[in-house]
Chains A and B, each alone.
Chain A
């Protein structure tokens, strides 16, 4: 084996080096030694087994669960057209030409197949087949349908610089999966014995169908990717498909799916932060000498105070006031920050939160004794009295209200966090209030979800406020938020 290894290695070496470069481009840190591990690993697995290859590479190169999706995308692209043995560039090679031809027409009249390719099914047949496949959960059939429908509906053109999501959207729109789901549920209800489906049964049925539909979507996605890679080549595709890792997703521009992932990421993050903060409090500090205790212990050394004892340090827990802009553009950011602050609220002696748009309201009570933070946030969004005139952000007025009603309660233990983009719609800034708050408070921080380069452009006056704060921070993603909160305690 040792004799043959070097010659076997070299193409694989090239391939894996390229792959790890691609991973690094996608934001996954792959160290040199991990790269070497990966090369060793692939010598122990049957290379024709794509799944094994995937696991071997993942185990050696990806050391973080949240990086798995990014890894998967890169993997799918990178190892999709490397020769026949991976079995991807399959049978429809011959048809490729013909479906390029009928694509233009397809784009304009979605859903109406003109049947130019004789072997193709009519849209009605396709829809029926789709329905049957989902009904039975037939994987092979679903794959075939995915291929067919991409060919038909995606309207892919060689060299056209649009992302895969565009094609995905076009394909799925034509499949009308919601309609199919309704039909499947209808069918399930009819088939059910006499009293009909109970809510529980209905839910289970729906879950099953939804899982199958998800699978179909994945197939469609894979099919589109395959074609794009064939068209544009690996490197270009890897670049277009690259998505930010969850911790780097921008709050302000997250898609719905990314939002869902962010929500999932926030819970482990809060747990992590809570543990870390608690640990920080307990460690590394010694209190003043505890005289009584030292003397007591000296008895066992015959009166020699050999072992000095110290008082248990009681680090002061800060109070936190969160003042958050929840107007449309920054709402998502405010929500995450409130989530986070509340999840770690046992690290602070008191947490009070205020939300504003052009009016301001205290929402602390919404969070009290609530297990489910998202529900509290929902209440904040629906019940809090934050609109004063027209629902356009007015930082100046909101601060005025805050200062009037709650200003006296800001004290030397209080840390004030202000969240917002400081886009004030050209209203009066009332920056003096921030100055006053900061005079009374222990510290004042401004967190801005906008990129730094946008600050103080247009109606953003973050600089004006920031001059009176202890710090202004760009917090656009979970990574930055985590970093900030960790410094807070």
Chain B
């Protein structure tokens, strides 16, 4: 099988071309996933670009993105496949007067014509390149996880009446998780693991520079610094990258070129979403370091 990516730097460059700034680790794991033909389990805090990574890889490969959004109560018929019951019924009724034994009909109605493919089966049976994104896998119950195991390790789906559908090509698979529950060992074992954390300051600055058109270097630098500073506080919800970008955009709209403490205070509700967090941050910004340096 041909490999999709030449090398790690090539992956990185390819992603950078479509404005996804991957660090060495992210690009490395994407590259390996292709070589080892394994799914990637992406974990990390919300808003750090987990879903975006899958989207960007799809874009880079020019592949179709098939997305399965997980939720509690997701079952086989929503994730894998379902028999088109109404169509089967129609078929049986249409056959009623015609000649033909029950076996004929049975064989007939359990054929691919009557199969409704759901995201997983669709990804398997696609002939063109696809990227399969299984989003927020931690939301399904642990029992439902088992549905995925066959697909993830063998790239096939067993349908009792039809037999096994094997993949035409190995899709790139991304699973994202916010880590609200422990995933099963079986699932983890089948995946490469990638933890995407908040970017370091330099990378965040780069991200701001690429994603916010027209922003000046100094402003981007300041934004990244302040966000880093805020993330060091003990907060209920630290600002995510997407919130950083929102904030940078806001500052641009307000024509601010140099962030003063007052600007930061007035716009901080874009970065932080809890009242207690906002209060804490404002307090920290207006107090002199030396007063509370002893605390940290």
**A211 to B225 alpha-carbon distance, docked (Å):** 11
A200-B261, A272-B179 given as contacts; is B32 within 8 A of A59 (CB)?
yes
Is A84 part of the contact surface with B, judged by Cβ < 8 Å? no
- Residues of B contacting A40 in the complex (Cβ-Cβ under 8 angstroms): 36
- Residues of A contacting B226 in the complex (Cβ-Cβ under 8 angstroms): 200, 204
Is A433 part of the contact surface with B, judged by Cβ < 8 Å? no
**A283 to B39 alpha-carbon distance, docked (Å):** 30
Is A385 part of the contact surface with B, judged by Cβ < 8 Å? no
User: Does A371 contact B24, Cβ atoms closer than 8 Å?
Assistant: no
A62-B193, A206-B289, A272-B181 given as contacts; is B260 within 8 A of A200 (CB)?
yes
Q: Which of B85-93, B124-132, B212-220, B278-286 lies at the interface with chain A?
A: B278-286
Q: Mark A381-414, 1 if CB is under 8 A from B, else 0.
A: 0000000000000000000000000000000000
**A468 to B111 alpha-carbon distance, docked (Å):** 66
Of chain B, the residue at the smallest CB distance from A267 is B236
Is B201 part of the contact surface with A, judged by Cβ < 8 Å? yes
User: Does B32 contact A374, Cβ atoms closer than 8 Å?
Assistant: no
User: Does B38 contact A45, Cβ atoms closer than 8 Å?
Assistant: no
- Residues of A contacting B289 in the complex (Cβ-Cβ under 8 angstroms): 185, 199, 202-203, 206
Of chain B, the residue at the smallest CB distance from A52 is B28
Of chain B, the residue at the smallest CB distance from A55 is B28
User: Does B229 contact A63, Cβ atoms closer than 8 Å?
Assistant: no
Is B75 part of the contact surface with A, judged by Cβ < 8 Å? no
Q: Which of A31-39, A232-240, A305-313, A452-460 lies at the interface with chain B?
A: A31-39
A52-B28, A56-B28, A279-B141 given as contacts; is B229 within 8 A of A207 (CB)?
yes
A52-B8, A204-B229, A268-B179 given as contacts; is B261 within 8 A of A198 (CB)?
yes
User: Does B28 contact A371, Cβ atoms closer than 8 Å?
Assistant: no
* Candidates A45, A62, A68, A199; contact of B261 at CB < 8 Å: A199
- Residues of B contacting A268 in the complex (Cβ-Cβ under 8 angstroms): 179
Is B2 part of the contact surface with A, judged by Cβ < 8 Å? no
User: Does B193 contact A203, Cβ atoms closer than 8 Å?
Assistant: no
- Residues of B contacting A204 in the complex (Cβ-Cβ under 8 angstroms): 222, 225-226, 229
User: Does A55 contact B193, Cβ atoms closer than 8 Å?
Assistant: no
- Residues facing A in B29-59 (CB within 8 A) are 29, 31-32, 35-36, 38, 40-41, 43-44
User: Does B193 contact A41, Cβ atoms closer than 8 Å?
Assistant: no
**A374 to B191 alpha-carbon distance, docked (Å):** 37
Is A350 part of the contact surface with B, judged by Cβ < 8 Å? no
* Candidates A52, A59, A198, A201; contact of B192 at CB < 8 Å: A59
**A340 to B188 alpha-carbon distance, docked (Å):** 27
* Candidates A33, A45, A198, A275; contact of B181 at CB < 8 Å: A275
Q: A interface, how many residues as a size bin? A: 35 or more
Is B182 part of the contact surface with A, judged by Cβ < 8 Å? yes
**A56 to B38 alpha-carbon distance, docked (Å):** 13
- Residues of B contacting A3 in the complex (Cβ-Cβ under 8 angstroms): none
- Residues facing B in A429-466 (CB within 8 A) are none
Chain B nearest Cβ from A467, distance in angstroms: 35
Is B16 part of the contact surface with A, judged by Cβ < 8 Å? no
Q: Mark B270-292, 1 if CB is under 8 A from A, else 0.
A: 00001111001000111111000
- Residues of A contacting B179 in the complex (Cβ-Cβ under 8 angstroms): 65, 268, 272
Is A125 part of the contact surface with B, judged by Cβ < 8 Å? no
**A272 to B182 alpha-carbon distance, docked (Å):** 8
Query: Which one of A58, A63, A211, A275 has the greatest number of beta carbons of chain B within 10 Å?
Result: A63
**A279 to B8 alpha-carbon distance, docked (Å):** 41
User: Does A371 contact B288, Cβ atoms closer than 8 Å?
Assistant: no
**A275 to B139 alpha-carbon distance, docked (Å):** 9
- Residues of A contacting B24 in the complex (Cβ-Cβ under 8 angstroms): 51-52, 55
* Candidates A63, A207, A275; contact of B41 at CB < 8 Å: A63
A51-B24, A59-B28, A272-B182 given as contacts; is B41 within 8 A of A199 (CB)?
no
Chain A nearest Cβ from B226, distance in angstroms: 7
User: Does B29 contact A59, Cβ atoms closer than 8 Å?
Assistant: yes
User: Does A60 contact B229, Cβ atoms closer than 8 Å?
Assistant: no
Of chain A, the residue at the smallest CB distance from B8 is A52
Is B266 part of the contact surface with A, judged by Cβ < 8 Å? no
User: Does A200 contact B285, Cβ atoms closer than 8 Å?
Assistant: yes
- Residues facing B in A156-211 (CB within 8 A) are 185, 198-204, 206-208, 211
Q: Which residues of B contact A (CB under 8 A)?
A: 8, 24-25, 28-29, 31-32, 35-36, 38, 40-41, 43-44, 72, 141, 179-182, 185, 188-189, 191-195, 201, 222, 225-226, 228-229, 232, 234, 236, 259-261, 264, 274-277, 280, 284-289
Q: Which residues of A contact B (CB under 8 A)?
A: 31, 33-34, 37, 40-41, 44-45, 51-52, 55-56, 58-60, 62-65, 68, 185, 198-204, 206-208, 211, 263, 268, 271-272, 275-276, 279, 283, 371-372, 374
- 17 of the cross-chain contacts (CB-CB < 8 Å) are A44-B35, A56-B28, A60-B32, A63-B189, A65-B44, A65-B179, A198-B260, A199-B285, A201-B261, A202-B289, A204-B225, A263-B234, A271-B180, A272-B181, A272-B182, A275-B181, A276-B181
Pick the 10 closest A-B CB pairs, nearest first. A371-B276, A200-B261, A55-B28, A63-B188, A44-B35, A59-B192, A65-B195, A63-B193, A59-B29, A55-B25
Task: Kindly list 15 other residue pairs between chains A and B, CB separation below 8 angstroms, not including A34-B189, A51-B24.
Answer: A33-B189, A37-B36, A51-B28, A55-B28, A59-B32, A199-B261, A199-B285, A199-B289, A200-B226, A200-B286, A204-B229, A207-B225, A279-B72, A371-B275, A371-B276
